[in-house]
Structure 1
Amino acid sequence: MNDSENIDSLHGEMTLSIVLLYWSLHDRLDCVSPHLSKQERLFLIRLASPLRMGNLAKIMQALPSTLTTLADGLEAQGLVQRQRDPDDRRAWLLELTQTGHAARRELLESAGLALREATGLPDADLETFSALLFRIRDHILAQGLPKGMPF
């Protein structure tokens, strides 16, 4: 095997490993709060602090109408509430209720456990992995989010 084939194989294996990690995490997190859809779980994770609906739609790369539907469902479940934006009374802020904060904490704890289980990495390696992931995320965000992302 020549160097070019080794590099091709390495890049292919890295890509397949990333996909495998994604699906492993996806599978583990599907069991968390099964009454919530994947989009609703991402919504709760993204809503760390009150946000305008338009800003949240932009962050999640969702149509405002889609976000409104998600917010309606989560509001009906008592997980989010709408408040008028004190800086602009025409706009609405979405914020987590106490129940929503508890659900978000459960999701984040489960995500951390899922990452540990999926990777099998010790804490020190997870810290290094996290630092690399944040660098990758920042690089991707600087270039612009890929179209069609679910969040």
Structure 2
Amino acid sequence: MQELYFTQKLPVSLDEAWNFFSNPANLKDITPAHMGFIVTSKHHGEQMYAGQIIRYIVKPVLGIPLKWCTEITHVADKQYFVDEQRFGPYAFWHHQHRFTETADGVLMEDILNYKVPLGFIGDIVNALFVRNEVRKIFTYRHKILTERFGS
């Protein structure tokens, strides 16, 4: 099992941060274009809710499309939400998105626990490729969010 932790401070209100991040349609905007990320599910309202299923197509390696399905399992309004993979490229995926209001904006925290399939072969693939690619995605998100909201 792998755990990654990312933080970012944004100079926006808690309402503005929550409204942006809890809308599944915005996921594409914060994912690198080379990943070919497309949300394929229809959304019921603009904000996430516990029990919501979100389906995607993503092309993480060599442009090969993979179907990915996550469920929003927990939501505490303007505090956190959790997405968990139901099927897709990982053996396990649990991603917490946390939001804390600060004097000058919002502290966002991403706590990601994941496991690559295929046992020790997956562990090698993770060490050589996956972990760095996941970090690059969050580095990209940090850059895009800074451009959008400031720093």
Does TM-score exceed 0.5, indicating one fold? no
TM norm structure 2: 0.32
The structure with the largest strand share of the pair is 2
- The structure having more radius of gyration, on CA atoms, is 1
